[in-house]
């Protein structure tokens, strides 16, 4: 599959999974609407897709949410496969992505440094 088509598939999967979470169609109580799908990386042979999940909630809640999404992976795959017309639907693997939270923490630290430098 071409690189451009693969990127479009990544974006489409990210949007569809996000919509399922927002519409609360995933009935697992561990899955919160505060979970954010940052990116999806589909392998070139379409056999697997890594789904990177982050949130501003605590690390324990993020881990529980990812576990809930992994438990509902079959349901999510089936729902999205109904909408997409691709030869082979990739198996979804949900992964914790701490990048969003680390970035937020870094901005907070920079703001604190800026405040302390203004006070001097």
CATH H superfamily, domain 3-119: K homology (KH) domain (3.30.300.20)
Q: What would the pLDDT profile of 14-54 be if each residue is shown by its tens digit? A: 999 999 999 999 999 999 889 999 999 999 898 999 999 99
Domain-wise residue ranges, the chain: 3-119
Report the distance separating Cα 113 and Cα 17, nearest Å.
38
Within 8 A by CB and 6+ apart from 8, the residues are: none
pLDDT digits (tens, 9 = 90+) for 73-108: 999 999 999 988 888 899 999 999 887 778 888 999
The whole-angstrom separation of Cα 103 and Cα 106 is 5
Whether 58 and 96 have beta carbons less than 8 Å apart is answered as no
Please report the sign of the dihedral spanned by the C-alpha atoms of residue 115, residue 118, residue 119, residue 120. positive
Handedness of CA 24, 26, 31, 35 (dihedral sign): negative
């Amino acid at each position: 599959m071409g690189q451009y088509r693969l990127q479009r598939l990544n974006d489409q999967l990210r949007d569809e999974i996000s919509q399922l979470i927002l519409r609360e169609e995933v009935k697992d109580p561990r899955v919160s609407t505060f979970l954010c799908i940052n990116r999806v990386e589909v392998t070139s042979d379409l056999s697997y897709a890594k789904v990177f999940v982050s949130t501003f909630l605590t690390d324990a809640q993020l881990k529980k949410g990812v576990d809930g999404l992994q438990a509902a992976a079959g349901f999510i795959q089936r729902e999205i496969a109904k909408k997409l017309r691709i030869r082979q639907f990739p198996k979804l693997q949900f992964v914790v992505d701490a990048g969003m939270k680390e970035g937020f923490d870094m901005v907070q630290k920079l703001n604190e440094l800026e405040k302390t430098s203004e006070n001097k």
